[in-house]
Amino acid sequence: MTDFNEAMSATAEAVSEVLDDILEQTEGPENRLLEAMRYSALGGGKRIRPFLVVASADLFGVARASSLRTAAAIEMIHCYSLIHDDLPAMDDDDLRRGRPTAHIKFDEATAILAGDALLTKAFEVLASAETHSNGEVRADLCLAYAKAAGDRGMVGGQMLDIVAEGHDVDVPEITRLQRMKTGALISVSCESGAILGRASASARTALRGYAHDIGLAFQIADDLLDVEGTAEEVGKATGKDEAAGKATFVSLLGADRAREQANMLVEQAVDQLNFFGDKAELLQELARFIVNRRS
Ligand code: GRG
């Protein structure tokens, strides 16, 4: 196993342990909610966003206990978005991470509530003194996460995606949509390290540039997988964008140009991190993983 693969697995395992702890089961009938939250948050996934939090925090020597709890918060927001995105009112998907989606495994109402509760639990964790002793750092984290997840970030991007259905969309529009829908959570994952580590303005600028580039590269890779991957590989239905007549980077640019663009963004992202020297090698590897992954 390479150092990068080892670091990815170790972070995934560590964040799962923290999530297991945070999402402790309760007595009584409300435990069904916890079961659905645990089903969605502990059922696999590449844990890319947690890795970004931990690896960016490591650049500034942040204590692991702080970065792992922050990583658990971003993963809970990500899992909430997946649960809600899979609902019949949204993408209506039956398969996620190679298993039945939350509303299939439980029911629609439980899936909606599990998503809501994962989102709110994330903010409970960010605001807790266990995550960081400094109240200003905790407030900065809450503000950054709220902006990334809300109307100017992920949820706003989802709205743009829905509004765009059945319309002609060009590359600048799709770029803005994807920057909000998937880029915002990726960006705030990297920003978390800078917030926890009280990083300098120049370190923040370098991380911001990196996050911007890998966010778009991630989305292009996702679009390519939707066209070229199989459901077994990807763990969710593929070919959905084309079937829905959805504009994507691949439909607008063609697969070859889209791949070139993703590779160019990755090399640019890698260069942005030269600012940190050898300390940023894992983040640079992650940028390459994002475009080479098969799931
Ligand atoms: C419905 C609130 C709400 C938001 C929807 C981000 C989003 C907005 C929906 C997620 C659905 C989706 C398939 C988006 C495309 C890109 C993406 C986020 C893919 C899944 O992320 P990965 O590959 O998944 O990191 P794993 O399972 O590895 O965590």
Q: What is the pLDDT of residue 243?
A: 78
Any ligand 1 atom below 6 A from CB of 45 = yes
Q: Measure 81 CA to ligand 1 centroid, in angstroms.
A: 6
Highest CATH level, class, for 4-292: mainly alpha
Buried/exposed code over 252-279 (b: 16+ C-beta within 10 A; e: otherwise): bbeeeebbebbeebbebbbebbebbeee
Candidate of 42, 76, 81 to mutate for ligand 1, largest count of ligand atoms within 8 Å of Cβ: 81
Q: Measure 34 CA to ligand 1 centroid, in angstroms.
A: 21
List beta partners, residue 96: 99
Nearest CA to ligand 1 atom 3: 81
Distance CA 87, CA 212 (A): 28
Q: Measure 27 CA to ligand 1 centroid, in angstroms.
A: 31
- Chunked mean pLDDT (size 10), the chain, 295 residues: 92 98 93 98 96 98 98 98 98 96 98 98 98 98 98 97 89 95 98 97 97 96 90 81 83 94 97 96 97 88
Distance CA 37, CA 117 (A): 8
Q: What is the pLDDT of residue 199?
A: 97
Asked if residue 74 lies in contact with residue 185, where contact means CB atoms within 8 angstroms, the answer is yes
- In 10 A of CB 245, how many CB atoms? 9
Q: Which helix (H) or strand (E) holds 96?
A: strand 95-96
Q: Measure 2 CA to ligand 1 centroid, in angstroms.
A: 27
Any ligand 1 atom below 6 A from CB of 81 = yes
How many separate helices (H) and strands (E) can be counted in the chain?
16, 2
Q: What is the pLDDT of residue 234?
A: 78
Any ligand 1 atom below 6 A from CB of 216 = no
Nearest CA to ligand 1 atom 14: 182
Any ligand 1 atom below 6 A from CB of 160 = no
User: What is the dihedral sign for C-alpha 164, 170, 173, 176?
Assistant: positive
The domain segmentation of the chain, as residue ranges, is 4-292
